A and B are shown apart, each in its own frame.
Chain A
Amino acid sequence: DGGITQSPKYLFRKEGQNVTLSCEQNLNHDAMYWYRQDPGQGLRLIYYSQIVNDFQKGDIAEGYSVSREKKESFPLTVTSAQKNPTAFYLCASSIGSDYTGELFFGEGSRLTVL
């Protein structure tokens, strides 16, 4: 089935460690996104990519990094510079150039810093 796969579903990290969250899509979508979700809050955009080898910062990019070397993959690294990384991270994709607003989301990755 087509969709977005995020891994791992749960991740624990010690302070000072970098972690990378995986996001793979087989929908042949050009655009991919990373959102952060905190309890009782809406989704906030971290980074997005409209096309391979290109990406832009979202509203809360500090302490995060991404790459887009392949169309189907958009990994997110949460660096030690991110001061409050414990959150639920959601990856999404959309068709891209004819963007209509419909995002397809993965199941999310929950990161907890110990």
Chain B
Amino acid sequence: GESVGLHLPTLSVQEGDNSIINCAYSNSASDYFIWYKQESGKGPQFIIDIRSNMDKRQGQRVTVLLNKTVKHLSLQIAATQPGDSAVYFCAENKGPSSYKLIFGSGTRLLVRP
């Protein structure tokens, strides 16, 4: 069946270090992937996205990598800050006409001072 999952439920990093959050997906037909950040008690916020014709995309302090061979998606956060502490979700969308996102269960990122 279709699913989007995460390898690690909780990730603890030292402030200033880089963080890597991983996500596995199972639907090879998905052509669009998104990362969201959700702070406690709030709604998810869009971080970055990537299409299946790309391997890498960079934003401000964040990079998303897509490995279609092994159906793996990762979010890298450079110089992690206390404000980065949140739950991070990956999601896949089957294309520009699809109104359905499949969300993973999330990874909690804890930043140690």
Contact = CB atoms under 8 A, between A and B. Distances in A.
B53 interface: no
Contacts of A43: 44, 89, 101, 103
Interface in B28-63: 32, 34, 41-46, 49
A2 interface: no
Interface residues of A, number: 26
Nearest to B104: A42
Interface stretch (B13-21, B77-85, B90-98): B90-98
Interface residues of B, number: 24
B43 A98 contact: no
A40 B96 contact: no
A101 B42 contact: no
Contacts of A103: 44, 46, 101
Given A50-B99, A103-B101, A108-B41, A42 B46 contact: no
Given A99-B96, A100-B32, A102-B49, A90 B44 contact: yes
A52 B73 CA distance: 35
Contacts of B106: 40-42
Given A45-B100, A50-B99, A102 B46 contact: yes
Interface of B: 4, 9, 32, 34, 41-46, 49, 89, 91, 93, 96-101, 103-106
Interface of A: 4, 31, 33, 40-45, 48, 50, 56, 58, 90, 92, 98-108
A-B interface, 6 closest residue pairs, ranked by CB to CB distance from nearest: A105-B43, A42-B103, A43-B103, A101-B93, A42-B105, A101-B34
